[in-house]
Amino acid sequence: MILITGAAGYIGSKLVHFFLDQDIPIRAIDNFRVHPMPKMTGATIHKMDVTVRDDVKEMVKGVDTIIHLGAISDVSQCETHADEAIQVNLLSMQYLMSEATKAGVRKVIFPSSFAVYDPHSERITEQTRLKPVTFYGHMKKWAEELLLAEQAKGTLDVVIFRQSNVYGKGWVSKTTVIENFCRSLLNNQPITIYGSGQQTRNFIHLDDVAWAYYRALSPSVQGVYNLGGEETYSIFDLAHLVNQVGQESIGRSVPIIRKHPQPIEEKKTHFTTLDRQKLKSLFRNRKMKSVKTGIHEYLREST
């Protein structure tokens, strides 16, 4: 039995659907504070809360693996609601690990983030120095440390996915830069870039993320993985790519405008290279979806 927390969220709802298609038994839970129950045929998501210890005791019964997606993932919300963020993003982890070891759970799979890295790192590997600059990034780092300490005791196997920017159409909408640019194009409105547009982002499609979590169920898969895609773009180049795909798929492009300053101060990332050797061993011969293909699919499915 696989426990999926945060099952009504962007990645969680995708995994629920993906695992059901694979006939993998799951227990899906969410507190529905952020997302309502997605409309998915044959899927049931139970209302439970990872910050309530009695709920945690109940949800881990008979579970072999936990995929712990329940979290506050909005960076600015973590800053403005720090107490709640600590409770949801860290205290819940402690509850889950404590109750999981008592219940005989074998493995925990956890989504971390590139936010744990120094944003000035030009090349990122799994061994790159951890130097978060946001409260969100610090919480991800602390959660990793909790998990790795538990693994060192020999009580739990752990898989940590340090995820880059996940995009793609799912059961639940998520405000990503690619989705924002595509929506502007579909609405025939200018694409707006805040700041210089030179900050770089790595992108991975939601379908590839789901595959990685599926592969992580294997007992042989353990440790830290950078879960990123094969392509890294500046925001400016990404806007031009969306326009290029727009011309090819719906015969439309829109103006690109810049606004200064950015509405929320954001540390710029400068990396140009992501070492994917370890991830390749996880994906084996599976080919990742290109950003261009993902944008084509998003526009096609939205028209």
| Same domain flag for 197 and 150 | no
Per-residue pLDDT of the chain (303 residues; tens, 9 = 90+): 999 999 999 999 999 999 999 999 999 999 998 777 777 767 889 999 999 999 999 999 999 999 999 998 888 899 999 999 999 999 999 999 999 999 999 999 999 999 999 888 888 999 999 999 999 999 999 999 999 999 999 999 999 999 999 999 888 888 899 999 999 999 999 999 988 888 889 999 999 999 999 999 999 999 999 999 999 999 999 999 999 999 999 999 999 999 876 555 555 555 668 888 899 999 988 899 999 999 999 999 887
Residue 192 counted as domain residue: yes
| Same domain flag for 118 and 141 | yes
Residue 196 counted as domain residue: yes
Residue 280 counted as domain residue: no
Which residues form the domain of 291?
167-202+231-273+287-301
Task: Report the number of distinct structural domains present in the chain.
Answer: 2
How remote is the C-alpha of 300 from its chain's centroid?
A: 23
CATH of the domain at 118: 3.40.50.720
Q: Are 60 and 105 in contact (CB under 8 A)?
A: yes
CATH of the domain at 256: 3.90.25.10
pTM, whole model, 2 decimals?
0.93
| Same domain flag for 178 and 264 | yes
Q: Are 65 and 105 in contact (CB under 8 A)?
A: yes
Residue 197 counted as domain residue: yes
Residue 67 counted as domain residue: yes
Give the CB-side neighbour count of residue 219, counting CA atoms within 13 A. Answer: 3
Q: Which residues contact 33 (CB under 8 A, 6 or more apart)?
A: none
Residue 38 counted as domain residue: yes
Vertex 204: Cα angle to 272 and 140 (nearest 5): 80
| Same domain flag for 218 and 291 | no
| Same domain flag for 109 and 220 | yes
CA-based max dimension of the chain: 58
| Same domain flag for 247 and 221 | no
Q: Are 134 and 77 in contact (CB under 8 A)?
A: no
